């Protein structure tokens, strides 16, 4: 659904104020405790952010891609773990249900997901299947009116909180690559599921990723999401959306990093004047502004194209690649502007510098984005 422009601007303004007045003041607590405070979760729920991509008929906001990107620009101005807390429930963990789910599946899960009463996780990656996701080995064997799942999934965001997992498994083991992969909706309380202890990471405090082990997990045939054998195609469709979403996250962080750099440069004095007066500092700020502006424009354009029904696989990959790489470059410049102060925890850039590094890896690494872009470009000109 496309909301009226004035309604959208009110929502964007509310999220902008929430990010600056609630999320940023909570960043230090999150860094120290590795948990998202309860009052933050309640605020995210009240704003409806758990249901951004869920249709209104199921209790969500039903936002278009462009509207979603506008909100993500604002919420991602704060450290990315806040966005990560509700992002999977909006993106890959939910889009499959919205796009491919039966009416029964939608009624069962979407209303609870939209309010944040339930959270979702997306189980695609495995210990030996990362960028080459079509090589996954988790198996789903038909047994009467049920399937039995066995396998291990890795780097699963919000697994410790999830009430439902979208699990990708091979239902046709003789089919090579993606052809034999299907998707299943698996409830957290199903016997045989083990969620491992979250990893200890270099950044993204407050966002938890874990291994999820499925041992003889028995699910009804009605848990199949879409037709058998279409799971990989559906996963890629969700990832096209997720990559635009992640590019929007990078844009929000680019803006935050730039603002941190400008603030410090105008306050810090050396040789009797603010370092912002020095041309080499100005050059770093100017480059960062140009890249932030370009990334924002790319995401807005690709989002509008997606809303218009155009294929955006190439555009989403371009956006994700450019915006996340730009965020990395800007973080490096801003830390350099801070000098030694940027290397101590008193300043936000120390934490943001570590956080932003992950953006170039997950939802498809920068190198995979280059491959997708080139593949689509060559295909268009064949």
Token representation of residue 330: 């800007």
In 3D space, the residue among 213, 305, 293 whose CA is nearest the CA of residue 255 turns out to be 293
Cα 107-113-115 angle, rounded to 5 deg? 110
Output b/e per residue, 279-299; b: 16+ Cβ within 10 A: eebeebbeebbebbeebbebb
The dihedrals phi and psi of 186, each to the nearest 5 degrees, come to -120, 120
Compute the distance between CA of residue 193 and CA of residue 161 in angstroms, rounded to an integer: 13
| Distances 125 to 48, 297, 365 between C-alpha atoms, Å | 28, 31, 13
Catalytic residue among 67, 260, 363, 376: 363
Token representation of residue 199: 């990893």
Compute the distance between CA of residue 101 and CA of residue 86 in angstroms, rounded to an integer: 20
Q: Is 104 a residue of the active site?
A: no
Compute the distance between CA of residue 75 and CA of residue 57 in angstroms, rounded to an integer: 25
End-to-end, the C-alpha distance of the chain in Å comes to 35
Catalytic residues: 363
């Amino acid at each position: 659904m496309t909301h009226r422009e004035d309604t959208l601007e009110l929502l964007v303004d509310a999220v902008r104020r929430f990010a600056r007045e609630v999320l940023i003041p909570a960043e230090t607590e999150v860094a120290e405790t590795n948990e998202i405070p309860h009052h933050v979760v309640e605020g995210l729920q009240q704003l409806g952010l758990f249901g951004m991509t869920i249709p209104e008929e199921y209790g969500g906001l039903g936002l278009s891609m462009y509207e979603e990107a506008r909100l993500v620009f604002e919420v991602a101005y704060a450290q990315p773990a806040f966005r990560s807390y509700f992002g999977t429930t909006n993106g890959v963990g939910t889009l499959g249900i919205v796009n491919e789910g039966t009416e029964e599946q939608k009624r069962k899960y979407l209303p609870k997901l939209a309010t944040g009463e339930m959270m979702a996780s997306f189980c695609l990656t495995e210990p030996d299947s990362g960028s080459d996701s079509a090589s996954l080995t988790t198996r789903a064997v038909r047994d009467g009116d049920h399937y039995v799942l066995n396998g291990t999934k890795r780097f699963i965001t919000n697994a410790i909180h999830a009430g439902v997992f979208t699990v990708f498994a091979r239902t046709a083991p003789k089919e090579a690559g993606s052809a034999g992969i299907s998707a299943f909706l698996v409830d957290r309380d199903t016997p045989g599921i083990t969620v491992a202890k979250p990893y200890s990471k270099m950044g993204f405090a407050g966002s938890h990723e874990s291994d999820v082990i499925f041992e003889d997990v028995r699910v009804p045939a009605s848990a199949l999401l879409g037709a058998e054998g279409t799971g990989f195609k559906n996963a890629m469709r969700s990832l096209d959306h997720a990559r635009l979403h992640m590019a929007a996250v990078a844009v929000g962080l680019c803006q935050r990093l730039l603002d941190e750099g400008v603030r410090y440069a105008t306050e810090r004095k050396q040789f009797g004047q603010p370092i912002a007066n020095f041309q080499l500092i100005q050059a770093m700020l100017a480059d960062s502004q140009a890249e932030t502006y370009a990334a924002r424009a790319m995401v807005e354009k690709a989002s509008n194209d997606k809303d218009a029904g155009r294929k955006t696989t190439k555009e989403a990959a371009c956006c994700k690649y450019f915006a996340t790489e730009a965020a990395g470059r800007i973080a490096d410049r801003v830390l350099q502007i801070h000098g030694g102060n940027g290397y101590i925890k008193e300043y936000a850039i120390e934490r943001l510098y570590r956080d932003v590094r992950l953006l170039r890896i997950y939802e498809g690494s920068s190198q995979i984005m280059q491959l997708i872009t080139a593949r689509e470009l060559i295909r268009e000109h064949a």
